Amino acid sequence: MTTHTAVMHPCRQRRLTYGWQPMQLIGRIEILAQHAGIDVPKTYELLRHLFLWEQHREPIPEPYAVLIEYALRHPNALIPERTATPQSDAEHACAR
């Protein structure tokens, strides 16, 4: 008998480290997409994609993966400078 141990996706682990609920990450993705001129699906579809990606059930399409990666590497990117805390990029590394 073999035991299957699920490995937490590194980006899910980083999201949880920040204390973000899935919708908080989705909100950041939507804002980043708007600034970058990238069309994204409706919020509920993004939430579904994120769930499936974090559970290793399907890969997330590349444009969204880039947005998620950016949001996780730069958690303070959407916060005004006066309230942002400087942190190193190495601290925000997110392996795929």
Tell me which residue of 95, 94, 72, 84 sits closest to 15, measured CA to CA. Answer: 72
pLDDT category at 42 given cuts 50, 70, 90 is very high
- Report the predicted TM-score, pTM, of the whole model to 2 decimal places: 0.71
Task: List pLDDT tens digits, range 78-96.
Answer: 766 544 444 544 444 454 4
* Residue in this structure with the two tokens 């392996």, named with its chain if needed: 95
Dist CA 65 CA 69 (whole Å): 6
* Residue 35 φ then ψ, to 5°: -65, -35
Lowest mean pLDDT across 16-30, 40-54, 57-71: 57-71
Instruction: State the virtual CA torsion across 42, 47, 48, 54 in degrees, nearest 10.
Output: 150
